[in-house]
Amino acid sequence: MHLKRKRKLQQLLLLTVGSGLIIGLILYALSENINLFFSPSEIASRKAYPAQRIKVGGMVREGSLERADDSLQVSFMITDYQHDLVVYYDGILPDLFREGQGIVAQGQLQADGAFVADQVLAKHDENYMPPEVSDAIEQASAAANATVEQTDL
Amino acid sequence: MIPELGHLALILALCLAIALAVVPLFGNATSQLRLQVAAHPLALGQGCMLLLAYAALTVSFIMDDFSVVYVVANSNSALPLPYKFSAVWGSHEGSLLLWVVILSLWTIAVSLLGKRLPLLMQARVLAVMGMISSGFLAFTLLTSNPFKRYLPDAAIEGADLNPLLQDFGLMIHPPMLYMGYVGFSVAFAFAIAALMDGKVDAAWARWVRPWTAMAWGFLTLGIALGSWWAYYELGWGGWWFWDPVENASLMPWLSGTALLHSLAVSEQRRLFKSWTLLLAILTFSLSLLGTFLVRSGVLTSVHAFATDPERGYFMLLLLVLCVGGSLVLYALRASTVRSRAVFNLLSRETCLLANNILLMVALAIVFLGTLYPLFLDVLGGERISVGAPYFNFLFVPIMALLLLLLGIGINVRWRAMPSQRLMHLLRQPLLWALGAGFAWPWVYAGAFNASVALAGALLVWLLATSVADLWQRVQQQNNAESAWWKLGASYYGMLLAHIGIGFTALGIAMVSHYSVEVSLRMAPNDKVNVGGYQFIFDGVKSIDGPNYSSIQAQVQVLKNGSVQQILQPEKRHYNAGQQVMTEVAIDAGLWRDLYVAMGEPLAQDSWALRIHYKPFVRWIWLGALLMAFGAGLAAWGKRHRFIPLPVAQTRHKGINS
């Protein structure tokens, strides 16, 4: 009986250590490969640094879209209504990309503060705003209100 | 009138489902034979009611009954008829209805084909399926009733089906996927019945295997269809994005694959029994999790259309009840299910154990990568997303290892096998695989590529080890002529499914490393060379579809100066919802696809065009077809196994184990 219990305990220990090790390794790989999301305001307050691969999101500012004449190079501004961010992209924009619509872009921040995207996503639904974007806009306006109250005092 | 009939039928179906969940078990407890047998007519009645409700919804779509909220949201009088059929499952309410309809069909199938099972088992399995059905029917009726109406003011016109879903691939993708998801409920119900019984024997595993194989085959088809659809409909040319919704269907697939293999050990060697039960519970729980993730709208992806927290909580409650309940039962009863047998290190048991471990690791990779951002979000932490590099970096090596092991597993025997004999069997396949693998990238592209070489070697390895095993088995028979037949459909199914995985792997490696993708601005008469073909843009034409207007580009494809094909990608503008959709043009082939998609219009009649050359991309889905066909063959070949062993023999075996 004792021997049996001992074996069972050993098995259990082996299983726990083994699966713990595997999950630990997976989580380590995971932490190396996450893409953080930033709003234009967070970028303006230097929360993100060049050389990091990040995602940014916001509404495309009306009238900010500019196209090159001879290539697919475009630039546009995204905004959370507190701060703007200039985005450069070389490629085909998604069907639902439109001025005044929420988008998410993935790429790298440049030293001059502009963002060079290698992927631009707009969701396939007319009324849909990416939740990251709506959150970012809410937070930005809440922060702005707070500063306004402080200056009032 | 018809929607009311449908609603009534749905309510009756719920009543019958609750009766199905309760009556047979009550009959069990009080030993009333008549109540146990009642499971069959109850299952049949539930199925009929659900089919009636389903028919009522379909008729509402066909007749453009715009007094039904769901029809207004998902149809339009100009919607072509075939899409009116598929619009039934185009959104949340209808796809839930499809879910329960498919569940009731599986229940009827178990009821009809399972009449040879012990009565106790029949009653319990059907009752468990009745419980699942009750939960989902209550969910449908309480939170997502597809028959809700605008009365007395009916709408005049519908909003139209999401244009993304107006497509053949997406007509059949959800039913196939659900056949898979829900099909695993059979294995789950059998596992719960076995836990109530406190006993798992070879006969039990024999009954569960064909059901699991069928569900797995459907799920494989469903996933492949989804991938194919994303490839040609989203217009990016990708066939797998590691999107949470895709991962949600991959997780039960991985766990279901492990279950299939663990069941084989439980049947042949009466081992891994409690592990098999746990896998059956896990697989169905992951199917439910997949349904929850997609249907509750907690995910932020292209697929998640429903966003209603009430539904989310109800779904979560169902998930917790189902998973929690079955795990508690497992904790209480699993210790009564004992496995006692010994096996050598070099044996098929070891190989299948390793298979299960690798599949569980793969599952953990996908699970953590999919749910970690969600957990972080729920906890109010940072918003992050996990990119494809994470999945590719971890998932691909595990799968390569699994395929390597697979070749050995096919050839190794149960219990034990002398290592020399195994070496002798495997030496030739190994040489073939190494030779072909190293040669292949040189032959194809004139340069070495490690990933392509590995995938090529693995495909040849699987083919050669399969042939080696087949040859070995035929040689062992006295009469070589009849030997080919004697091996049976399930054996051939097993080989086919395994070879299919090799085809998929090679397709993935080829398309990942040799694809050519060009996005460019093209004015009329501009030329571009991609992948050995010349593409000439001839300008655009305007055409009109039934419920959209479209601008169609004319792109000539030339090879060595002669015109091969004219590709006509479109930019469609749907009238009802004002959505713009890209319709790609593909010249499909076994060796390569040519893929042209339109971007946006630019100045001076020029357009942004996306041109892809995709070698071997069809092999990915061809492999999946082979897997599904193999699974079907395996299930069909085991049909005779529904006949239970004579009672005396069963008891004898029970004592031995």
Q: Is residue B110 part of a domain?
A: no
Q: Chain A contact for B398, CB < 8 A?
A: no
pLDDT at A17 exceeding the cut of 90: yes
Contact A35 B305 (CB under 8 A): no
The amino acid sitting at B137 is L
pLDDT at B67 exceeding the cut of 60: yes
Please check whether residue A57 is in contact with residue A103, taking contact to mean a CB–CB distance below 8 angstroms: yes
pLDDT the model gives residue A125: 47
Which structural domain, as residue segments, surrounds residue B560?
Answer: 516-618
| Residues 6+ positions from B32 with CB-CB distance below 8 Å | B26
Nearest to B247 by CA among B385, B63, B80: B385
Contact A36 B387 (CB under 8 A): no
Q: CA separation (Å) from B476 to B418, B462, B610?
A: 17, 21, 56
Q: Is residue B247 part of a domain?
A: no
Q: Report the residue from A33, A70, A72 with minimal CB separation from B386.
A: A33
Q: CA separation (Å) from A83 to B4, B367, B640?
A: 53, 36, 70
Phi, psi of A100 (to 5 degrees): 90, 0
pLDDT the model gives residue B548: 92
**Residue B465 or residue B656, greater confidence:** B465
Q: Is residue B596 part of a domain?
A: yes
- Cα–Cα distance measured from residue B393 to residue B133, given in angstroms and rounded to the nearest whole number: 39
Residues of B in contact with A69 (CB under 8 A): 603
Please check whether residue B366 is in contact with residue B252, taking contact to mean a CB–CB distance below 8 angstroms: no
Please check whether residue B322 is in contact with residue B135, taking contact to mean a CB–CB distance below 8 angstroms: yes
pLDDT the model gives residue B648: 37
Q: Please write the tens of the pLDDT for every residue from B223-270.
A: 999 999 989 988 788 899 898 889 999 999 999 999 999 999 998 888
Q: Is residue B523 part of a domain?
A: yes
Q: Chain A contact for B438, CB < 8 A?
A: no
Interface of B with A in 564-593 (CB under 8 A): 577-582
Residues of B in contact with A35 (CB under 8 A): 384-387
- Cα–Cα distance measured from residue B183 to residue B213, given in angstroms and rounded to the nearest whole number: 9
Please check whether residue B596 is in contact with residue B535, taking contact to mean a CB–CB distance below 8 angstroms: yes
Contact B369 A69 (CB under 8 A): no
Q: Please write the tens of the pLDDT for every residue from B303-327.
A: 343 455 677 788 889 999 999 999 9
pLDDT the model gives residue B456: 96
Q: Report the residue from A34, A70, A132 with minimal CB separation from B521.
A: A70
Local confidence band at B654 (pLDDT 50, 70, 90 cut-offs): very low
Q: Is residue B527 part of a domain?
A: yes
How many residue contacts between A and B have a Cβ separation below 8 Å? 82
Please give the structure tokens belonging to residue A115. 């963002």
Minimum distance, in Å, between the CA of residue A130 and any CA atom of chain B:
7
Least confident of A142-146, B200-204, B205-209, B362-366: A142-146
Chain A residues whose C-beta is within 8 A of a chain B C-beta are: 22-23, 26-27, 29-30, 32-37, 55, 67, 69-72, 91-93, 95-96, 123-126, 130-132, 135
Closest chain A residue by Cα to residue B519: A91
By percentage, how much of chain B surpasses pLDDT 90? 65
Residues of B in contact with A34 (CB under 8 A): 373, 384-387, 390
**Best to test chain B binding among A124, A135, A139 (most B CBs inside 10 Å):** A124
Q: Chain A contact for B364, CB < 8 A?
A: yes
- Cα–Cα distance measured from residue B429 to residue B412, given in angstroms and rounded to the nearest whole number: 14
Return the bridge partners of B518, or none. B611
Local confidence band at B460 (pLDDT 50, 70, 90 cut-offs): very high
Q: How many independent structural domains does chain B possess?
A: 1
Q: Chain A contact for B302, CB < 8 A?
A: yes
Q: Report the residue from B382, B520, B582 with minimal CB separation from A36.
A: B382
Q: Please write the tens of the pLDDT for every residue from A18-60.
A: 889 988 988 888 888 888 888 888 888 877 777 778 888 888 8
Q: Are strands A84-90 and A73-79 parallel, antiparallel or unpaired?
A: antiparallel
Task: Give the side-chain half-sphere CA count within 13 A for B349.
Answer: 19
Contact B599 A135 (CB under 8 A): no
| Residues 6+ positions from B493 with CB-CB distance below 8 Å | B213, B629, B630, B631, B632, B633, B634, B635, B636, B637
Q: Is residue B529 part of a domain?
A: yes
Q: How many helices (H) and strands (E) does chain B have?
A: 20, 11
pTM: 0.91
Nearest to B133 by CA among B16, B285, B256: B16
Closest chain B residue by Cα to residue A90: B519
pLDDT the model gives residue B647: 41
Q: Is residue B491 part of a domain?
A: no
pLDDT the model gives residue A146: 61
Closest chain B residue by Cα to residue A54: B384
SS3 B638: coil
Contact B302 A71 (CB under 8 A): no
pLDDT at B473 exceeding the cut of 70: yes
Q: Is residue B585 part of a domain?
A: yes
Contact A35 B579 (CB under 8 A): no
Closest chain B residue by Cα to residue A120: B236
Return the bridge partners of A78, or none. A60, A85
pLDDT at B655 exceeding the cut of 70: no
Give CB contacts under 8 A, 24+ apart, made by B279-282: B279/B255, B279/B356, B280/B184, B280/B187, B280/B188, B280/B190, B280/B191, B280/B208, B280/B212, B281/B188, B281/B191, B281/B192, B281/B323, B281/B326, B281/B327, B281/B330, B282/B255
Q: Report the residue from B365, B519, B597 with minimal CB separation from A26.
A: B365
For the segment A112-120, the average pLDDT, to the nearest whole number, is 89
**Residue A98 or residue B559, greater confidence:** B559
Q: What is the ipTM of this complex?
A: 0.81
